[in-house]
Structures are given as C-alpha cells and as structure tokens.
C-alpha cells in the first residue's frame, strides 16, 4: 500500500536482441511476413510458439532467463493472425496451416540446413508445436516441450471458452489500463511480463467508434481507492475519473488484436487427439503443467511408462512461462543439458 505499481509498457528490446520480419511466399506468389524476435548466437534454437490471443512477446522474460543459463538461440514467433505477423488469410488458424507456417519460417531463416531445434509451445502454441513435429516439418527437431496444454482439459474447457472471452473488457482506454487489467484479473500474474507482453495482445482502434471498438468505454479495472484524495489534494478520484472518461472519448481506444471468439471452429482441431500425437513424437519430450489435475488418461499412462518428462509448477496461472519465467527456464535448461543438447553457462547447475 502507498506505493503505486507501474503499469507502463516496456519495449521488446529490453529482453530480445533483435527483431525481424521473415518473408514467406505463399502459393499465389503473394508474401506473408512473420514477425520474430531473436536472442543468442550459438547452441540449439529454441523455437517459441505462444498461446491463442498472445504474441511472441509473452516469451520476453523467459528469454532473458534462459539465455543466462545455457548456450542457446531464441526465435520467438508471432503466429498468423497474432502480433505483428501479416498474412493473406489471417482467419485460417487451422492446425495444418499454422504448422506449415512454422516449417516455412524455419526454412526461410535457415534454408536446407537448419540448426538443431527444440520446439516449445504454450497452450494453442503447444498444440501447434506437436502438429508441426508429427508432420515432420522440422527435419532438425531435437525435442518438444508443451506448456500447460493437455487434450482432456482443453477439450473440457472449450465449452466455457466463449463465456470467458465474453467476460473480458472489449476496449481499454490505454496500454497502461490493459496491463493493469491483465494483472488484476489474474490473466498474467507477473507484472514484469505483463508490461512487455500485453502490447502484443492489444492494438489501437482505427477510429474510436469503429465497429470493433464500441462507443461505450468498458472499464477494465475497478478503481480501488474510490474516494481518496489524490496526493496533490486536487479533488476526489471519482471526480477526476469522470474527467478522464470525457478525455477518453477523444482519444483512440485499445482493443484486442485478434477476435478469438471467431476462431472457434479451429479449436477442436488443435486439441483433439493431442495426447497420442504428443506421445507418438520420437524426440525427447517435456510437459510443464500449472497443476497435476490437468493430466488425462493417455498422458498418465505415458508418464508412468516414462515416455516423457513432466514437471508441475504450482502457484502459476495458465500463462506458466509468464508467471514463473525463471522456473520454466530452469526446467527447459535442465532438460536440454540432461539430453546433452547444450552446455550450461554462468555456473548454472
């Protein structure tokens, strides 16, 4: 209490070394450009795939954590329809199309001789990582890591997904407002990560009264100190808020970059059969979960047979790699060292 938390956005460049747009020609000869963020110069490539609605920036804090533990290169990708990636058909979020995108980006980056690659994906990105591996789109695939995605839980959750999406604010009056909402609602429990990653989830509305931005201002957060005097004694917060709201109507609002509710027809295809697909991948595998209750039958049997390595990271929300970036970095680093895919640095045990 007393100390105001800082909800201002932070630039990607504090966490990644470089950013580029990778051009991939599609069948019609028209170009798709995929935004990627990179760090590291040697060692295996950790190719990071974010969850639905998120962007490559959700891996920012994880990236600086893992780069200090092992020799590796990071490539975090904005999947189609997300972040700053621009494709001809952003609505096509089928598992097949998105897996092909991943293969195409790797080919555009490295040609016919890609370096060893470990695929790491969160939620939807975890499913896409598995589909990419199973379709054999990455010839140099070393290993596979899924973060908080299990077929049984995901399929069960699909029914409540639309309700969850409807419960979110439609617009935010500023980036700060969006970051504050994400932390206070528990979407991202780590303020540091929210400050860099929410920028990839929302965008400025073209016109404040455009169809995707309803005129109504939806307050993303509840004012905590309703009637307290502000420091300068300049009137109550409530009065000031009304003035802010009038101001807001003149500004451009922020809204979600992707309307996830409209992607519903692809959800089933991401997750159905995922457990067996994961188990069938011949490479070493790691499953990181926010809770042990998330295991389904196929994975429980596979786990008992030692077909993959599993770690539960308690006190995390669904965005495990954002909530506990150090723990996730530690788990991934340990996995890579154990399989002799890389070397530790900086005395990492």
Residue 208 lies in a domain: no
β-strand pairing of 202-204 with 254-256: antiparallel
Q: Which domain holds residue 22?
A: 12-168+264-339
Query: Rounded to an integer, what distance in angstroms lies between the CA atom of residue 274 and that of residue 134?
Result: 10
Residue 44 has a CB neighbour count (10 Å cut-off) of 20
CATH of the domain at 330: 3.40.50.1820
Residue 200 lies in a domain: no
Residue 62 lies in a domain: yes
Nearest to 155 by CA among 239, 40, 270, 291: 270
Complete DSSP assignment for 211-225? TTS-SSPPPSS--SS
Residue 199 lies in a domain: no
Q: Would you state the pLDDT for residue 213? A: 54
Concerning whether 318 is annotated as a catalytic residue, the answer is: yes
Choosing from 50, 54, 318, 321, the catalytic residue is 318
Judged on CB neighbours under 10 Å (0-12, 13-18, 19+), 168 is: middle
In our burial notation (b when 16+ CB lie closer than 10 A, e otherwise), range 186-225 reads: ebbbbebbbbbbbbbbbbebeebeeeebeeebbbbbeeee
Question: What confidence category does residue 156 fall into, taking pLDDT thresholds of 50, 70 and 90?
Answer: confident
Nearest to 99 by CA among 144, 129, 57, 69: 129
pLDDT single digits (tens) 329-338: 999 999 999 9
Concerning whether 210 is annotated as a catalytic residue, the answer is: no
pLDDT single digits (tens) 53-104: 999 999 999 999 999 999 999 999 999 999 999 999 899 999 999 999 999 9
Choosing from 54, 64, 78, 148, the catalytic residue is 148
Choosing from 39, 55, 64, 123, the catalytic residue is 123
In our burial notation (b when 16+ CB lie closer than 10 A, e otherwise), range 255-277 reads: bbbbebeebeebbeebbebbbeb
Q: Which helix (H) or strand (E) holds 101?
A: helix 95-110
Residue 78 lies in a domain: yes
Concerning whether 123 is annotated as a catalytic residue, the answer is: yes
Residue 94 lies in a domain: yes
Q: Is the pLDDT score of 284 beyond 70? A: yes
pTM comes to 0.87
**Whether the Cβ atoms of residue 34 and residue 24 lie closer than 8 Å to each other:** yes
Mean pLDDT over 154-159 rounds to 84
Q: Would you state the pLDDT for residue 170? A: 93
Question: What confidence category does residue 160 fall into, taking pLDDT thresholds of 50, 70 and 90?
Answer: confident
Q: How many domains would you assign to the chain?
A: 1
Residue 5 lies in a domain: no
Residue 319 lies in a domain: yes
């Amino acid at each position: 209490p007393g100390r105001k938390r800082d909800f201002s956005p932070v630039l990607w460049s504090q966490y990644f070394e470089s950013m580029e747009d990778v051009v991939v020609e599609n069948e019609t000869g028209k170009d798709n450009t995929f935004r990627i963020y990179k760090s590291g110069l040697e060692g295996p490539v950790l190719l990071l795939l974010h969850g639905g609605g998120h962007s490559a920036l959700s891996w920012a804090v994880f990236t600086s954590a893992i780069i200090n533990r092992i020799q590796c290169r990071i490539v975090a990708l904005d999947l189609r329809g997300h972040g700053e990636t621009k494709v001809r058909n952003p609505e096509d979020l089928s598992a097949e199309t998105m897996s092909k995108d991943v293969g195409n980006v790797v080919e555009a980056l490295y040609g016919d001789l890609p370096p060893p690659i470990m695929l790491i994906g969160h939620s939807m990105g975890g499913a896409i990582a598995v589909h990419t591996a199973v379709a054999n789109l990455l010839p140099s695939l070393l290993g596979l890591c899924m973060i908080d995605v299990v077929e049984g839980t995901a399929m069960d959750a699909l029914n409540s997904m639309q309700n969850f999406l409807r419960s979110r604010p439609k617009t935010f009056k500023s980036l700060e407002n969006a970051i504050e909402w994400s932390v206070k609602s528990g979407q991202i429990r780590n303020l540091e990560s929210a400050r860099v990653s929410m920028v990839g989830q929302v965008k400025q509305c073209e016109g404040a009264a455009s169809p995707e931005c309803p005129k109504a201002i939806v307050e993303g957060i509840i004012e905590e100190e309703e009637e307290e005097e502000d420091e300068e004694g300049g009137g109550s917060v409530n009065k000031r808020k009304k003035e802010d709201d009038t101001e807001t109507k003149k500004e451009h609002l922020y809204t979600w970059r992707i309307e996830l509710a409209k992607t519903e027809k692809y959800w089933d295809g991401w997750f159905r059969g995922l457990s067996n697909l994961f188990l069938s991948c011949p490479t070493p595998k790691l499953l990181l979960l926010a809770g042990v209750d998330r295991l389904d039958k196929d994975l429980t049997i596979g786990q008992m047979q030692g077909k993959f390595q599993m770690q539960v990271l308690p006190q995390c929300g669904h965005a495990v790699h954002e909530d506990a970036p150090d723990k996730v970095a530690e788990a991934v680093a340990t996995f890579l060292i154990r399989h002799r895919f890389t070397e530790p640095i900086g005395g990492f045990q």
